[in-house]
A and B are shown apart, each in its own frame.
Chain A
Amino acid sequence: MTDPAATAPQTGPLVGAAPRQAALHPARAGELVRVVVLGHVDHGKSTLLGRLLHDTGNLPEGRLEQIRAVSARRGLDLEWAFALDALQAERDQGITIDAAHVWLRTPARSYAFIDAPGHEEFIRNMISGAARADAALLVVSAPEGIGAQTRQHAYLLRLLGVEQVAVVLTKMDLVDYREEVYRRLGTEIEAYLGALGIAPAGLVPVAAREGTHVVGRQGRGLGWYQGPTVLQLLAGLRPQLAPAAAPLRLPLQDVYRFDERRLLAGRIESGVLRVGDELVFSPWNKVGFVRSIERWGPREQQRPYAVAGESVAITLEQQLYVERGQIASHLVEAPVETDVFEATVFWLGHEPLPVGGELVLRLATQQVQARLAALHRLVDLEQRSERRAEAIGRHQIAEVTIRTRHPIAVDDHRRLPATGRFVLVQDGLIAGGGTVRLGAHPDLRPQLSGLKSTHITRTAGRVSRAERARRTGHYGRVLWFTGLSGAGKSTISIALERRLFDLGYLVYRLDGDNLRHGLSADLGFSVADRRAHVRRVGEVAKLLCDAGLVVIAALISPYAEDREHIRRSLREREFIEIFADCPLEVCEARDAKGLYRAARQGRLHGFTGIDAPYEPPRAPEIVLRTDQLSVEACVERIVEYLRGLEAAEIGR
């Protein structure tokens, strides 16, 4: 598999070049190459394919007669495209609406052809067809030349990651087989593709209706061309396999507990995984060792490793709480963790996507709320120039910055395509896609994994936690109140502080609103600022807890991820999440600060519960129905919990 001619597309000019032998690629037995056929509408894609199937003996018995009959019924000569245009509407309108997949077997290998529609209206179908292709045949009609969709399709090929492209100039019979047309158009096409970074693997002039240069060389007019036929060109294309010689990426699809095993299921997108490997699960940064790779089936299929492209189920030595969306990798060359990155996106939605627009982003099996943070330029396919805009219109391509609500694990698309690309979902429908470019923003992994900077060394003091506890009579804790505005967090925390102090606790209260006057005076109420505020208060709480205090923190802290982050930064049983659970209607009716009214009237934006989300805790230590319990009852509930905890720890 190392013939260099087959690996690297020919880079020199192809037009007028000496007849080149089709790159020989020793096909593996049973190998399949997926080839998408695309180009401008009506440039003859389906006709080329129909002819190719027929001339290689791949049309089923009786199919030719059927096509002849269907053609005759519509008053047409033999219409090769009917071999693929299976839908009634397609045959009646003479266009391809959706991509068909057809197979072609040759003695050496098989091909799956994807006949992509050329109509702009059906670009989503072209993308659906092309995204899985190993290679592309770009079809250009000789009489018409490069069309709008020729350009669009070629650009999308780059984004979709299809690198092998061969060009077929069709309908040469309609330009009297003139070599001059072939040369002129060929130069033009090569220039356009070259600017996109695509070096075409060949440029074949064909007259598909008569079959010239599809498989054979019949026909009179194209004698001046000695290069490969379409079929010969195909033989030089290679399947694109998921890269095994690359860093390991295993996005988790699911976690199963059908029996005593806890199975982590997913497909390896790159690299090799072995039993005994140490894995890190990003972006939560849990670490564990692979105990087994579980394969159900014949014994001979058991192997102690699994490679890129393989769907696996693994078990770990440790019981880790991991879930769908996380990406397992080795500890070295792990993916980047970030909540902001640069990307090239194409937009398929009916309505334009404005700057600031919110949608759902899916990358591998991760799903997260995201926002179009900035639009740097629109790609102009005709001029390839830059255009500034405030929104991405339907079928436009743009360079953008994307922000996600939570950090996600990503790779640069140029390095690892499968974990470096994403789709954008609006109202449950895929409305766009994009490729990730990293480098402009820092990797958050050191922060998220609690490692901070590699240049700062932690120094350990000589006073232990136990010694502090002996001095104060209790361990340090963080009692973290979360809940909607008006749920009673501040009221209860004030009463609780008094009560715990009276009981002899060394206690201190951090109030979210109060701290905004000092610690977070520089922060506003954007999503990023609110999260920064929570993180700061979390850090302060952690320090005070370390000092041996019982810390009461009362903040809305709407995002579960942020609270989880603080929990992870503390020891077990140090973080006590208290959910002040109160229905929105009750909070709104209380409205002590008049904030709900302001939000409803549109004077206050991004207010939790009204036009900003609140993510309730999944498993809080304490839930207080503050609409049903008195302040005193709430306080006693917490005191009881704290006493129970102390008793349990002393008893251990």
Chain B
Amino acid sequence: MQPPSEPQTAAVRALSHLELLESRAIYLIREARARLRPLAMLWSVGKDSTVLLWLVRKAFCGHVPFPLVHVDTSYKIPEMIAYRDRLVREWGLELIVAQNRQALAAGMDHTRGRVVCCHALKTEPFKQVVREHGWRGVLLGIRRDEEGTRAKERYFSPRDAEFGWVFREQPPEFWDQFYTDPPPGTHVRVHPLLDWTELDVWEYIERERIPIPELYFARDGRRYRSLGCAPCTGTVASQARTVREIIEELQASRQSERAGRAQDRESEDAFERLRAEGYM
């Protein structure tokens, strides 16, 4: 391999850390579209998948050439839904809302067990909508630094017919060659943000001026660091009222990002079991 070289011409500037991350994410998004059709994107309305959505628009020069899916548990913080509907309108997006109405009618909520609830209201409707549309690829905004099992994910991660994640049998993935031939009935989850850290996401939001829900900014000394369902998502103490202040606060913090997410803490392997069964 050649030693890293500065471009010879003075007029040419090497890529910054954020530009490299952006470029790679665009590469992965374009690979997904070239190799996995039909394709869809899961949009949780949080900052990560909104950054992913922004990158999709960059990859296709302003277009979003596949549908977005939002899994609505009905327990989402109301501001999230308002924000979602605003972007759909302003950006002209094709949105499919998935919901497990049957489970909701039967009274499912977090009091039945957080992991049980997550599975019923997130994983199950997600499965249904993927099956219904026969998607071979789904783009997701998960990151390796969020949590230990995600740290071991692939960029192109196969899911079996039951949506199981067989982490013992992950396919090799190197030199930007990916698993892109899922057998019928199975699909591939594509993770263009896998390399990004929470800080990278915020610095990119700042650089690109991406609109994000107000919930991330401090109100009365508290803010959401991660968005989920209202009953299971807590706020953290914070004074950050701007993206810049959030970045500065994160640079000084040693608290885990998912500290506010209750479903991760039910048992040692709660999150791993959720993910093995099809969770994001």
Using a CB–CB distance below 8 Å, which chain A residues touch chain B? 1, 7, 30-32, 57, 59-63, 70, 73, 84, 86-89, 97-103, 112, 124-125, 127-128, 130-132, 160-161, 163, 238-241, 243-246, 253-254, 256, 258-259, 261, 263, 265-267, 272, 294-298, 305, 307, 309-311, 313, 324, 348, 362, 365, 417-418, 421-423, 425, 428-430, 433
Contact = CB atoms under 8 A, between A and B. Distances in A.
Contact of B61 (A263, A421, A433): A263
Interface centre among A263, A267, A324 (most CB of B within 10 A): A267
Nearest to B255: A61
Contact of A87 (B9, B149, B179): B149
Interface centre among B2, B6, B181, B209 (most CB of A within 10 A): B2
A305 B11 contact: yes
Contact of A128 (B4, B61, B154): B154
A262 to B, nearest CB: 12
A418 B19 CA distance: 19
B118 to A, nearest CB: 18
Given A86-B148, A99-B152, A423-B175, A307 B7 contact: yes
B268 A428 contact: no
A101 B181 CA distance: 25
A430 B171 contact: yes
Contact of A433 (B18, B23, B175): B175
Contacts of B147: 86
Contact of B27 (A98, A240, A253, A417): A253
Contacts of A62: 256, 259
Give 4 closest A-B pairs by Cβ, nearest first: A86-B148, A428-B181, A131-B174, A124-B172
Contact of A243 (B5, B12, B259): B5
A307 B2 contact: no
Contact of B15 (A238, A309, A362, A433): A309
B170 interface: yes
A588 B179 CA distance: 37
B6 to A, nearest CB: 7
Contact of B34 (A1, A254, A417): A254
A258 B61 contact: yes
Interface centre among A32, A63, A272, A311 (most CB of B within 10 A): A311
Contacts of A163: 1
B20 interface: yes
Interface string B143-183: 01101110110100000000000011011111101010111
A59 B60 CA distance: 38
A86 B149 contact: yes
Given A31-B17, A241-B4, A428-B181, A272 B61 contact: no
B31 A253 contact: yes
B26 interface: yes
Contacts of B26: 267, 311
Given A241-B14, A245-B8, A263-B61, A102 B254 contact: no
B60 A161 contact: no
Interface centre among B34, B57, B179 (most CB of A within 10 A): B34
Contacts of A267: 23, 26-27
A354 B174 CA distance: 23
A147 B169 CA distance: 24
Given A258-B61, A421-B175, A243 B27 contact: no
A313 B20 contact: no
B177 A423 contact: yes
B171 A7 contact: no
Contact of B152 (A100, A124, A239, A418): A100
30 contacts: A60-B254, A61-B256, A61-B259, A87-B149, A87-B152, A88-B269, A100-B144, A100-B151, A102-B145, A103-B197, A125-B172, A128-B174, A163-B1, A243-B5, A261-B61, A267-B23, A296-B58, A296-B61, A298-B208, A309-B23, A311-B27, A311-B30, A313-B61, A362-B177, A425-B181, A428-B179, A428-B182, A429-B181, A430-B171, A433-B174
Contacts of A256: 60-61, 63
B174 A98 contact: no
Given A86-B147, A256-B61, 5 more contacts: A30-B17, A30-B18, A258-B63, A417-B1, A429-B171
Contacts of B33: 254
Contact of B177 (A124, A297, A430): A430
Contacts of B5: 241, 243-246
B72 interface: no
A244 B12 contact: yes
A254 B18 CA distance: 24
> Does more than half of chain B's interface fall in helix, strand or loop, or is it mixed?
loop
B111 interface: no
Contacts of A239: 4
Nearest to B5: A245
A244 B7 contact: yes
B109 interface: no
A258 B4 contact: no
B3 interface: yes
Contacts of B272: 86-88
B256 A60 contact: yes
B168 to A, nearest CB: 6
A254 B59 CA distance: 11
Contacts of A30: 16-18
A266 B30 CA distance: 8
Contacts of A245: 5-8
B221 interface: no
Contact of B23 (A125, A246, A311): A311
A400 to B, nearest CB: 18
A271 B144 CA distance: 30
B14 A244 contact: yes
A112 B15 contact: no
Contacts of A348: 172
A348 B5 CA distance: 33
Interface string B187-201: 000000011010000
Contacts of B177: 362, 423, 430, 433
Contact of B60 (A57, A87, A243, A258): A258
A430 B179 contact: yes
Nearest to B177: A423
Given A240-B1, A305-B11, A253 B34 contact: yes
Interface centre among B5, B24, B33, B272 (most CB of A within 10 A): B5
Contacts of A128: 154, 170, 172-174
Contacts of B231: none
B17 A246 contact: no
A124 B3 CA distance: 27
B211 interface: no
A294 B63 CA distance: 13
B113 interface: no
A430 B182 CA distance: 12
B34 A86 contact: no
Nearest to A163: B1
A258 B151 contact: no
B172 A63 contact: no
A311 B126 CA distance: 31
A305 B57 contact: no
A197 to B, nearest CB: 12
A61 B208 contact: no
Contacts of A295: 58
B155 to A, nearest CB: 10
A128 B259 CA distance: 29
Given A61-B254, A307-B14, A294 B61 contact: yes
B31 to A, nearest CB: 7
A301 to B, nearest CB: 9
A307 B12 contact: yes
A462 B136 CA distance: 60
